[in-house]
């Protein structure tokens, strides 16, 4: 996504207008932090030449593939820096493994011992970290949480 702001030739205080646009984007669309904003005037043609390069750059970011080994190394560091909170039972949530499921938009799967107990704020922390890891500003990032399989569970009922 690229935001094109037209009629920029009519704006008096451009710095204040840009601050207003950025503040509004931050509050209304936090999932695409760093969204590129291209100011232009369709009437005069000023700034129009910046629009397509911005579109191509975002399109390239949208298709980024991050290797699983790099993701898991990053996840270990992120968890070490800021561990997940305790679950309702008083036990620490464990994020075990991470992989990229698809691109367009970049979608990641994290396997955890109790995915339903992971707070949304911690998921946002992970999204922002991935954004920095792969320079994904302006691209929505999806994180799906899944429960990993218990290696000691054979699937058979006792008895």
Low pLDDT (below 70) residues in the chain: 150-159
**Fold of the domain spanning 68-147:** GMP Synthetase; Chain A, domain 3 (3.30.300)
Map out the domains of the chain as residue ranges.
3-62, 68-147
pLDDT of the residue at 154: 58
pLDDT of residue 89: 72
pLDDT at residue 50, rounded to an integer: 94
| Of residues 106, 80, 107, the one with CA closest to residue 94 | 80
CB-facing half-sphere around the CA of 60: CA atoms within 13 A: 8
């Amino acid at each position: 996504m690229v935001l094109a702001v037209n009629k920029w030739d009519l704006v008096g205080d451009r710095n204040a207008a840009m601050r207003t646009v950025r503040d509004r984007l931050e509050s209304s669309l936090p999932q695409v932090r760093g969204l590129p904003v291209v100011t232009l005037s369709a009437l005069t043609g000023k700034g129009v030449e910046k629009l397509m390069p911005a579109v191509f750059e975002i399109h390239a970011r949208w298709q980024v593939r991050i290797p699983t080994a790099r993701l898991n190394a990053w996840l270990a560091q992120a968890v070490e820096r800021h561990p997940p909170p305790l679950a309702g039972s008083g036990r620490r949530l464990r994020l075990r493994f991470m992989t990229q499921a698809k691109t367009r938009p970049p979608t990641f799967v994290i396997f955890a011992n109790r995915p339903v107990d992971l707070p949304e704020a911690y998921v946002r922390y992970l999204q922002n970290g991935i954004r920095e890891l792969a320079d994904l500003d302006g691209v929505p990032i999806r994180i799906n949480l899944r429960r990993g399989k218990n290696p000691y569970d054979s699937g058979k009922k006792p008895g």
